[in-house]
């Protein structure tokens, strides 16, 4: 009896162990692999996720549709999937429904019999009708024959979901070929034109006065009054009052000499005086007239000194005037202060027309002398300033310090957007053009001086791609290496894509369909 119980217990234990081993040997069934396809037309972008298609088994397609006009989700409409046998035959249509939320559409249906099909998604929505041709898809006869695993992810790819793209500022564009002007990029600085800079000095020793002292940055016109200089009284007789008195005294002496000469000539005619008396009177008149001329010249010279020194005399004070039109760059004058002759009072710089002084390598001198247009890039400013040179000058002498040829481009400066003394990069556009892949300048980012772009490789996948720049022309940047025509690059929202690269994988909730 005891032996029989032991035998039964042993059999039960063996059964339990075998069952446990059998359960451990069974591998749990995982979720079906997920496939996806991304397609662009001129109107919309389609990103669709779907399982491997098996004949006779219902399949669910999650379609995300984005308007390319504003990169926002398509808010309404009904999509349909069309499957046409590759060798011809009837078209199977799987109908979709209105979106569960803007941009997210669901299509559910049973695929046709096993085989290869050309498939397309069509969408009809208010204000838009579009068709996405998706190439060829295979419908398998059963699950065992699919042999399909989930599409492998590129480990360098950045996940940025449609929900994020629709919420944030975002846009992409297709890389296209364009003919861009070739250019030479050289260091440059902004300088005043020759004669476009003037220092106004005190024409004589005196005290500076003005009803209002002009400030730095004030715009002035040629001949505009900047103030007055009241000459100090001088012990050596060079003040205006003394000079005017000297002129009056010389005029009186000259008049007396003329009267004396007239009397002497009359007396000589009456033989009352000798001829020597007339000669002496004539010499006295000549001396008096010479002294009068000298006195008048000294007074006129004082009154006209500021015609070359920045003003004209008025009464016993000089009116200080601007010799050129421009803006006041420095104010050295102080109201009520006294200055010696030649002391600087103001510095004026012409800013409506300036020159770009570019340091051109000897190998590019011929191209620089024949440029048709230039642009000036300023550090920290996103857009270069386009300029049209009026005149190009150079001395034909290499600078011994930079080993480059200084070339001056005279250009207009409307609005004073370029500042005298500013440094940057001059882009000298040559005459020839080159055909290269091109993107908008907003697509190109910089890190440590190296340019890169974000390429969209799928609806929700992006790759950071370093590039080599071939040319810059206006809003376009030509690319020598890194991307090809047909690639799509991010032009808005690149910073958010960069932030998304810090996240590993998708958010836990994923998509909701």
Q: How confident is the model at residue 509 (pLDDT cuts 50, 70, 90)?
A: very low
Host H or E run for residue 186:
strand 176-192
Residue 293 has pLDDT above 70, yes or no: yes
Please report, for the chain, the start and end positions of each structural domain, with discontinuous segments joined by +: 1-150, 174-190+353-500, 206-340
Supply the DSSP symbol for 356. E
Superfamily per CATH, domain 1-150: Macroglobulin (MG2) domain (2.60.40.1930)
On the CB side of 347, how many CA atoms lie within 13 Å of its CA? Answer: 6
Host H or E run for residue 162:
helix 162-167
Per DSSP, which regions of 332-414 are E strands? Answer: 338-339, 344-349, 353-360, 373-377, 385-387, 391-394, 405-412
For Cα atoms 448, 455, 39, give the angle at the middle one, nearest 5 degrees.
170
pLDDT for 55-95, tens place per residue? 999 999 999 999 999 999 999 999 999 999 998 889 999 99
d(CA 155, CA 148): 20
What lies within 8 Å, CB to CB, of 494 at 6+ separation is: 443, 445, 453, 454
Contacts 24+ apart (CB under 8 A), 443-447: 443/173, 443/477, 443/489, 443/490, 443/491, 443/494, 444/469, 444/477, 445/494, 445/498
Q: Pick one of 3.40.50.2300, 3.20.20.70, 2.40.30.170, 2.60.40.1840 as the CATH number of 174-190+353-500.
A: 2.40.30.170
pLDDT for 209-258, tens place per residue? 998 899 998 999 999 999 988 876 555 556 667 778 888 888 898 898 89
The number of angstroms, rounded, from the C-alpha of 337 to the middle of its chain's C-alpha atoms is: 45
Q: How confident is the model at residue 302 (pLDDT cuts 50, 70, 90)?
A: low
Structure tokens at 212: 């209002």
pLDDT at residue number 153: 65
pLDDT for 356-404, tens place per residue? 999 999 988 888 888 888 889 888 887 888 898 989 988 889 999 989 9
pTM attached to this predicted model: 0.63
Residue 288: other Cβ atoms inside 10 A? 21
d(CA 129, CA 43): 9
pLDDT at residue number 371: 84
Residue 406 has pLDDT above 90, yes or no: yes
| Range from 7-16, 111-120, 147-156 that averages highest in pLDDT | 111-120
Residue 8 has pLDDT above 50, yes or no: no
pLDDT for 93-105, tens place per residue? 999 999 999 999 9
pLDDT at residue number 466: 95
């Amino acid at each position: 009896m005891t032996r029989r119980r032991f035998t039964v217990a042993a059999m039960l234990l063996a059964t339990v162990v075998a069952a446990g081993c059998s359960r451990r040997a069974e591998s749990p069934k995982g979720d079906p692999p997920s496939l996806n396809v991304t397609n662009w037309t001129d109107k919309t972008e389609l990103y669709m996720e779907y399982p491997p298609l098996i004949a006779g088994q219902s399949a669910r397609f999650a379609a995300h549709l984005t308007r390319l006009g504003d990169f926002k989700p398509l808010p309404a409409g009904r999509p349909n999937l069309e499957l046409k046998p590759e060798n011809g035959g009837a078209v199977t249509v799987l109908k979709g429904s209105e979106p569960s939320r803007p941009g997210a559409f669901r299509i559910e249906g049973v695929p046709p019999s096993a085989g290869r099909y050309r498939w397309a998604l069509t969408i009809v929505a208010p204000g838009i009708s579009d068709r996405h041709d998706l190439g060829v898809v295979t419908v398998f006869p059963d699950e065992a024959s699919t042999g399909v695993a989930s599409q492998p992810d590129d480990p360098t790819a950045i996940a940025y979901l449609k929900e994020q793209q629709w919420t944030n500022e975002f846009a992409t564009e297709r890389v296209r070929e364009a003919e861009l002007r070739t250019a030479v990029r050289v260091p440059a600085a902004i300088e005043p034109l020759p004669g476009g800079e003037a220092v106004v000095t005190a024409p004589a020793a005196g005290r500076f006065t003005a009803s209002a002292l002009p400030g730095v940055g004030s715009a002035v016109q040629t001949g505009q009054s900047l103030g007055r200089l009241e000459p100090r009284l001088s012990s050596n007789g060079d003040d205006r009052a003394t000079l005017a008195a000297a002129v009056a005294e010389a005029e009186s002496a000259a008049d007396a000499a003329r009267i004396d000469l007239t009397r002497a000539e009359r007396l000589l005619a009456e033989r009352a005086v000798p001829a020597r008396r007339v000669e002496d009177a004539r010499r006295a008149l000549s001396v008096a007239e010479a002294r009068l001329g000298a006195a008048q010249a000294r007074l006129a010279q004082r009154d006209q000194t500021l015609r070359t020194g920045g003003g004209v005399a008025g009464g016993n004070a000089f009116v200080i005037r601007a010799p050129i039109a421009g803006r006041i760059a420095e104010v050295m004058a102080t109201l009520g202060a006294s200055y010696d002759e030649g002391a600087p009072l103001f510095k004026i710089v012409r800013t409506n027309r300036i020159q770009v002084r570019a340091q051109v390598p000897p190998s590019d001198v011929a191209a620089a002398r024949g440029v048709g247009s230039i642009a000036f890039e300023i550090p920290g400013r996103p857009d270069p300033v386009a300029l049209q040179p009026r005149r190009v000058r150079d001395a034909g002498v290499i600078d011994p310090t930079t080993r480059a040829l200084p070339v001056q481009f005279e250009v207009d400066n409307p609005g004073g957007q370029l500042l005298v003394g500013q440094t940057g990069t001059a882009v000298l556009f040559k005459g020839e053009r080159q055909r290269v892949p091109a993107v908008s300048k907003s697509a190109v980012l910089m890190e440590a001086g190296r340019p890169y772009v974000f390429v969209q490789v799928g609806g929700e996948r992006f790759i950071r791609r370093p590039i080599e720049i071939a040319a810059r022309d206006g809003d376009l940047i030509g690319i020598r290496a890194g991307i090809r025509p047909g690639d799509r690059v991010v032009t808005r929202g690149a910073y958010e894509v960069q932030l998304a690269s810090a996240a590993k994988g998708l958010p836990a909730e994923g998509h909701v369909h």
